[in-house]
Structures are given as structure tokens and as C-alpha cells.
Structure 1
Amino acid sequence: MSLCLADGYCLDTLGPFFGTQNDASITNHITKTKNALMEWCEPGDIMIVDRGFRDIVEAFSDLGYEPKMPIYLPKGQKQHTTNEANEARLVTKVRWTVESYHARLKKWRFFSDRIENQLLPKLQDCVRIVSATLNWLRGSIIKDHNTNHMDRLATLMTDRLAKHNYLVTLVEQGKLSTKQRWKKINEIDFDFPEMELEDLRQLFFGSYQIKQSQTYAEEHLDVNGDFAIQVSKETDEIIRCAIQSRHSNSTRYYAWIQFSLTGDPITSWYCQCKSGARTVGACAHEATIIWFLSYARHHDFQYSNGRRRIQQSIEKILSDEDEPDDSNEFSAT
């Protein structure tokens, strides 16, 4: 387990911990290192912890720190509330530097492959040596300390916390759920605001969802290269689309997007997935629709090489099935 600063600089690594050690035993080990923590940190410092370490939250609180962890979805609840999803997004926005640090660590072949049991006694020393080397030679993850940009981004995210999700209310009231209220976009003169990548990064507060959007889009385009998108009959500024879950083939979510051609391009969004009600950024399903309609289709969107090969194979199979079978033909004399 790694202890990292917000910019990705690694302070120390703890462990290794065996698979039989639970959250409580790991927490007990951390509290034993509280003297080192007190040298590095001050009371009231915010500690970002992973969702799997619930007992650590209480331990850090006892030490005088302020722990933050993504919220668990309560049993029987299918979706986080807007406030819960927003708070979780604030945590993951800060925690990405830790994930990036671990990605750096695993670029060393020794840590990316299976480690033999006889090397376990030396594993901690190896990890700490590599961590120190990364700190020395590569430095922190965030090197461009543009405080103005970071302050502006933090202000935008905190402002979004209090924003009411208008589409959630409409869906809960049943005003956007019936089939009779929708029509296909190819049946009308449909227009959607065009946006640049930088605009999308500001809207989603990062590029993670944008990177996922191409894969999602490829999976949901029809034979003509279009999304099966519907527009509300009551207003042309609300659309919806069914997106397949990447975790379950039997699950799909409806995502709603409200846009404007005169004011802010994207005014509201909502999805039925676990984090789809948030207003701080957007889930991957919502981001895919916005990315494709506002950017990809205006910039000659192309399938990836792997997807293109699959498509060509399917087209070849279909064309072979359409060809007449000459083996049954014969001539009579």
C-alpha cells in the first residue's frame, strides 16, 4: 500500500500484506506507523483512501485527520443520489494520481508479472527502492503546478455540487420515460451543438470519460454509423439513448441529455447507472453520447483497427451467405 501526496509524490510504501490479512489488520499496521505520519502530516489534513479500507477511515479520524472515501452503494439501493455521486467524484478526481503512480510502478517488468514466493521477503525492499528511484528520476505526477488553472477547476467542481439535476426530477415524475414521448432523430431536422475537445474536458473535468467514449460509441453504432437516439416530442432539446452496460451484457441504461443551441451547449444530463445522477462531471454513458454528437461525427470518426477487422469479417461472412451456391446446379442433356 502506498502513501502518496496529492501531486503523486510517493512518501512511503507499506507491506506487503498477505491475502489472509483483512482490513482491520492492515489498519492496525498503519496506526503503528503514526509517528511517521505525524512528522509528515498535520491535524486536519485530508486523507484520500480506497473504498476497500473502511476501517482506516475510523483510524485516521482518531489520529486527527479528515479521511475521504468513495461512498458504498447501500444495500437495496440501485443508484447513488446526486449528492453521493458528486462527493464520490470529488474523491476520485484527487485519487487519480495514486492510480497513476501505481501504473508507473507496474511498468517495471518485475512488478507487472507474477512474483515467486521465494522473493516475498525481499519484496518490500524492492518496492521502496523503485519508489525512491521514481521520485528521484521522474518526480511527481503533476509537474505543472498551474495554481490558477487548478483553483478555477476546483471552483467549477464545487459550484456543480449545489446544482440541481433537472432531468432527474423529470424522470422520477415519469415525464421522460414513456415511449409515446419520443421520436427518432432521423425523422426530424435534428441539430446538436458542436464542441471542441477542450470544452469536453472542462465539462467532464478530465479526459478519462473521453478515452472511454470511442469504445462505447463503436459498440452502439448501427450499420449506417449512427446512434439509435430519440428526441422528446415536447422539446427538441432533450434526447435519450440506451447504452449497454460494460459490466453486464443483460443490463442497459437509458441516458438523457438536455442541450441548447443558444446558451450553454450542455445544460443537464442523467443516466440510470449507479453514478449517473451526478452533476460534477458525467458518467461514461452520458459522455459517450455528448462526445459523439458534439465532436466525433464532425471530425471524421473512424473505427479502431480491431473493430474495423471485426466489421470486415462480418461483412465477408454475410456476403458469402448471399452468393448463390453453384454446387447444386447441373445441366441436363
Structure 2
Amino acid sequence: MKLRTGNSNKMIASILQLENEQSVSDYSASIIKSFENDILPFYFGLHVLNRDDLIQNHTTEITKKLFDVRDNLFLICDGTYARHQKSTNNEYQRKSFSGQKKVPLCKPFTIYPNGLSKFLTEGDTFVLDRGFRDIKDALEKKKFTVLMPALKGKRKQLSTKESNQSRFVTKIRWAVESVHGVLKQKYRLLDHKIGNKLIPKVGIYFRIASFLNNTFGKRLQSDVEIVQRMHNQKDAENTLAIEAEEKGWFRRKLIFKNITGNDLLDFPEMTEKDMKIFFTGSYQLSQAVSYLAKMVDKNGKLNIEYVKDEKNVLKLKVPSRHIFRTTYRCFLRYTPNSIGVSGVTHYACECANGRRTIGCCSHIAAIIYYLFFARYLSKIFKPAEILSDTFKKDNSIPVIESDSDDD
């Protein structure tokens, strides 16, 4: 109950009608000890598995299909974080403070130095995010394959090949991100601010939660159609982006106008399933909903401009999600009055991932979502719209003082 709800010992004692909160602490310690001695050593961890079992039964189906997994082991590595209280121990406070999150936290990341090596052979694959870029060379020297999203550096855009390869990586890395989310949703203690007295137990709490999720949790699945589309588009070049560069579309001054629900009625029809296949998953669809809502002003006017000066090619200007004054030019080529995913034949954007042909960037996704579905709604609703008016009721303006002494 402590792990599942994250409630204080006092609250749990009240719910269970125990004499005092110390009883909750004693019961919790007893259960943790039982897990440590009687369950986890026999049913959780690498020591209870073998290499073939890991490959056949613990490799996600989408990884097997995307990378044709046979005899090589795929390891998806990532850490999560657990926020906790500030400490009066100044040394620990300095070490635990995250400059990125601006809060004290610890990052559970379990490594088995004496157990993992016996499973690995040359050619096995590590799937990492960009935070592991400093160890990539070391792993490759040991003749392991490293899959990591491409680094843009000082360039404006990734190439089509880099963007597509990155999408393959993020598609299988999604599994570990999803599991972290599930753990924190099911076991609220891991998502709450943890009391300092529980910090030494964070590791065992995560191990127990992981064991329960492995044993009783739902396996992650992905549609076969998505995998097939990703394979089909893997080596496709973004010919529309090349055409836009050759013809100077990014530089040409055009007379744009705001798009309305009565424009472009010949745009292809798609079902929700079609959009998920086109976007190679549901995440981009959910992002499109939020992004589109952000582009609607207080009068309900959509801040997307377009011009159609060439046959079946849309040229659009879409505002950035993050930078107020930045807009991106997007291009869409489609087959008029068609039905299904194949109706949108080519697309390109000048953002960092705008040249990809597997899935698309958020700007293209928002445009497609609007033309297919949102324009037929009476109103485009903002997610958690009540939060937009939080600081408007009394005309107050939130101020963040970067030089505050309150740390």
C-alpha cells in the first residue's frame, strides 16, 4: 500500500486503523525484507535468466521485426529519477542537486557488473539516448553495436538518412520510457517527492516495482502495419525537400493566407488508424492535438498560413512550439480526393527533423491532423485549458528570479 499509493505512514495507519504510524513502518520493513530474501533472488535479475531466454522472451516484438533479431542481444539502457526532499547534509545536497531539473533527486540505474558481461558477445546491440554519447566509442571498441539518435550539432537539419535511423532507434527506445511511466503511475511513491529517510530504500522500491510489473504487467505491442511502413520508407529519399531547395521555395516570398475549415476540401481522407500508421505511432498524434491547440488564438483563429501556387503542393508557415518569433515552412504533396495513408505522397519541413520520411515532424503532423479531423470540430479545445487562465484572473504576471537566494 505504501508503494502503490505513496501516502504517508500516518495516513496509511488511519486508513487501516492501526494504533500508530510506527506499525506501518514495521510492516513495510518486514515486507521489503521478505522480497529481498525470498522473492527477488529467485525470480528477478539477470542471474535467473539465460541469453537465449533474454533474446526470445524478453526482446520486444517491434525490435525483432524492425532489426530482424536472431542471435544478437538488444539492451535498452536508460535511467529515471526520483525526486526527494532537500537535505541538511550539505555534501549530499550538492551531489544530489540536478542542474537540469533544478531539484534534488537520485537516478536509479541498475548495473550488474559481474552478471551482465557473461551474457554479452561481439555484435550485441546497446540502444542508448544522446546522454550516453561519451561512452559510445568505448562500447564500439569492444565491438558492440551502438544505436543512438543522431546528433545535430551546429547544423540546422539532420539528413534524411540520419532522421530515419533516429526514428528506428526512438521507436524501440520507447519501450523503456513507457515502462518508467507505468512504474510511476502504478506505484505513486516513486513519483512523489520522497522523504529523506526513504532514500536508502529507493533502489529496493524500484526493484520490487519492476518485478511486479514484469510478472503481472501488460506486454507492450505495436501494429504490424507501422513496422511494415517503417521498412518501406527506410531508404526513401525526401525528394520534396530536395525540390524545395532546388527551386528556392524556402527563400521565395509568397503571399500566404490563414487556413480555414473551408479550404483544401480535396485533402485526402484518413481514419485515426491511418494517422497512427502515417505518424508511426500514437505519440505524434497526441502531440499534434496539443500543438494545434497552441496555435489557436483567443478569438479562435488558427495561426497556420498557406499558399497553393503549384498543383497539389501545399506551402505552409507554422509557428514554432518553443520559440515565439520562429516559424517553419512546410510542404505537402498529396493526391486530391484520395483515401488512406498513400494520399499524402511527400512532405518536408525546415525544422531539425523535417527531412525524415519515416513518420514526420510535429509541424507536418499538426497540419495533417487539422485537415483530416480538427477543422470539422466546432472548437479546437486546449488540453487542460483551465491552466491557460491561471494568471489572467487578477492580471498578475509570474516572475522567476534567477538570482534568488532561496536554494
Q: Same fold (TM over 0.5)?
A: yes
CA contact (8 A) 1:181 1:232 kept: no
1:99 to partner: Cα distance? 0.4
Cα offsets for 1:140-195 (capped at 9, x unmatched): 3x1x5x8xx54x53342132122121221132224423233756667x97331121
Label 1:241 to 1:19 Cα distance change in 2 as closer, same or farther (>3 A): farther
The residue number in structure 2 matching 1:7 is: 60
Identity fraction in percent: 29
CA contact (8 A) 1:157 1:280 kept: yes
Q: Give me the whole-angstrom Cα distance separating, in 2, the residues matched to 1:175 and 1:54.
A: 36
How many residue pairs match? The answer is 295
Which of residues 156, 176, 181 is equivalent to 1:98?
A: 176
1:279 aligns to 2:354 (yes or no) = no
Label 1:132 to 1:163 Cα distance change in 2 as closer, same or farther (>3 A): same
Which letter maps to 1:232? K
Match of 1:114, SS? Answer: coil
Label 1:19 to 1:64 Cα distance change in 2 as closer, same or farther (>3 A): farther
Cα offsets for 1:107-135 (capped at 9, x unmatched): 22221122334433222222112211211
Q: Give me the whole-angstrom Cα distance separating, in 2, the residues matched to 1:247 and 1:71.
A: 21
Taking structure 2 as the reference length, the TM-score comes to 0.62
Label 1:11 to 1:195 Cα distance change in 2 as closer, same or farther (>3 A): closer
The residue number in structure 1 matching 2:14 is: none
Moved more, 299-308 or 253-262: 299-308
5 Å-filtered alignment, 1:146-185, equals 149-150=223-224, 153-177=226-250, 178-180=252-254
1:213 aligns to 2:213 (yes or no) = no
1:226 to partner: Cα distance? 4.9
Label 1:14 to 1:232 Cα distance change in 2 as closer, same or farther (>3 A): closer
Label 1:210 to 1:136 Cα distance change in 2 as closer, same or farther (>3 A): same
Which letter maps to 1:180? L
Point out where structure 2 has 5 or more consecutive residues left out of the alignment: 1-44, 47-53, 62-74, 83-94, 99-106, 396-407
1:249 aligns to 2:249 (yes or no) = no
Label 1:220 to 1:14 Cα distance change in 2 as closer, same or farther (>3 A): closer
Q: Give me the whole-angstrom Cα distance separating, in 1, the residues matched to 2:270 and 2:79.
A: 45
Moved more, 51-60 or 284-293: 51-60
1:190 aligns to 2:264 (yes or no) = yes
Q: Give me the whole-angstrom Cα distance separating, in 2, the residues matched to 1:207 and 1:88.
A: 17
Cα offsets for 1:283-305 (capped at 9, x unmatched): 11100001110223246664247
Match of 2:353, SS? Answer: coil
Which letter maps to 1:246? R
Q: Give me the whole-angstrom Cα distance separating, in 2, the residues matched to 1:54 and 1:239.
A: 38
Moved more, 241-250 or 284-293: 241-250
Taking structure 1 as the reference length, the TM-score comes to 0.74
Point out where structure 1 has 5 or more consecutive residues left out of the alignment: 318-333
The residue number in structure 1 matching 2:204 is: 125
Q: Give me the whole-angstrom Cα distance separating, in 2, the residues matched to 1:296 and 1:12.
A: 38
Which of residues 300, 306, 309 is equivalent to 1:230?
A: 306
1:94 to partner: Cα distance? 0.6
Match of 1:180, SS? Answer: coil
The residue number in structure 1 matching 2:216 is: 137
Cα offsets for 1:256-304 (capped at 9, x unmatched): 2111126631011111211111111001110000111022324666424
Which letter maps to 2:276? R
Match of 2:155, SS? Answer: coil
Q: Give me the whole-angstrom Cα distance separating, in 2, the residues matched to 1:260 and 1:206.
A: 23
Output the aligned Cα RMSD: 3.8
CA contact (8 A) 2:136 2:146 kept: yes
Greater RCO (CA < 8 Å, at least 6 residues apart): 1
Q: Give me the whole-angstrom Cα distance separating, in 2, the residues matched to 1:256 and 1:14.
A: 37
CA contact (8 A) 2:226 2:281 kept: no
Moved more, 301-310 or 111-120: 301-310
Q: Give me the whole-angstrom Cα distance separating, in 2, the residues matched to 1:87 and 1:242.
A: 27
